[in-house]
Amino acid sequence: MAEAPNAAPGDSNDSIWRGLKSLIFGAQDESLRDQLEDAIDRHEGDPAPDAKGDLTPLERQMVRNLLHFSERDAGDVGVPRADIVAVEEATPFADLVALFADAGHSRLPVYRDNLDTIIGMVHIKDVFNILATGAEHPASIAGLIREPLYAPMSRGALDLLADMRQKHVHLTIVLDEYSGTEGLVTFEDLIEEIVGEVEDEHDDAPQVLMTPLDGGAWEADARAELEDAAELIDARLAEVDGDIDTLGGLAALLAGHVPQVGECVAHPSGWMLEVTDADERRVNRLRLHPPRPEPEDIDA
């Protein structure tokens, strides 16, 4: 039968697709995303594929990461402000070379006056080209500065990936609500959200962010994730109202300001967060003291 004259060009294809979905998954209101995740959950404990061509545990995890990739945004991924390695625009070329050698990065942001004013980035291959050819070292690094991308924290990770692919730029500066520097995201950071951590021979060994102490206390880097603290120390530490992800953020949220060295902040669970290292902008290290045991009732 001929197609209805008023049908849109894509209607036939959409109908076929809906029919295939119904045939494979049944007529359900559940989205295809939910159906795929349910299927992965049913095989969560499988050590190996049941049949040739089935998904391995690693492939299942990658599919799960991909299904949730669109839920992430620029503020969730990449390098936080405290960990950014950047270069001031007046830095001499020789010092730039030394910084690249020490940092082990292929791109470095360039700032003016402070980290909230990032004016560009320098790529290591431009530096290496000067060194390899024996060209005269430039008096300033101004001629090496390239334009990075800039994105608000709310920019979706999937959109950010598309931006970086389209513009062939592999470094994005993430801006907070006041247009200050919140962090940065590289192309590698976005890929790692799907495939997992990608380490090379230049990456340092993973840093231990939380260390147990005698008496049940913990020494912690303020960058430690609340999810990790909940799993390793006490699940109640992650039970907070607020858009925070780290122990340092938790201390600031509970205190209502950036707590300074020596300040102790009480958590509703009974844990006490003592600040052992901080500056005017952020908490750097904490000592977590466990809740005191409840006194036993003594019968009169």
pLDDT at res. 3: 46
pLDDT lower than 50: segments of the chain: 1-5, 7, 300
Going by the DSSP 8-state scheme, the letter that residue 186 receives in this structure is E
- Return the pLDDT at 7: 47
Using the 8-state DSSP alphabet, how is residue 91 labeled? -
Q: What angle do CA 136, 140, 144 make, to 5 degrees?
A: 85
Helix axes 32-42, 11-25, angle to 10 degrees: 30
* Residue 51 DSSP code: S
The pLDDT value recorded for residue 297 is 56
Angle subtended at Cα 237 by Cα 233 and Cα 243, rounded to the nearest 5 degrees: 135
- Check residue 143 and give its pLDDT: 94
Topology of domain 79-195 in CATH is CBS-domain (3.10.580)
CATH (residue range 210-289): 3.30.465.10
Q: Where are the domains of the chain?
A: 79-195, 210-289
pLDDT given at position 178: 85
111 bridge partner residues? 88, 118
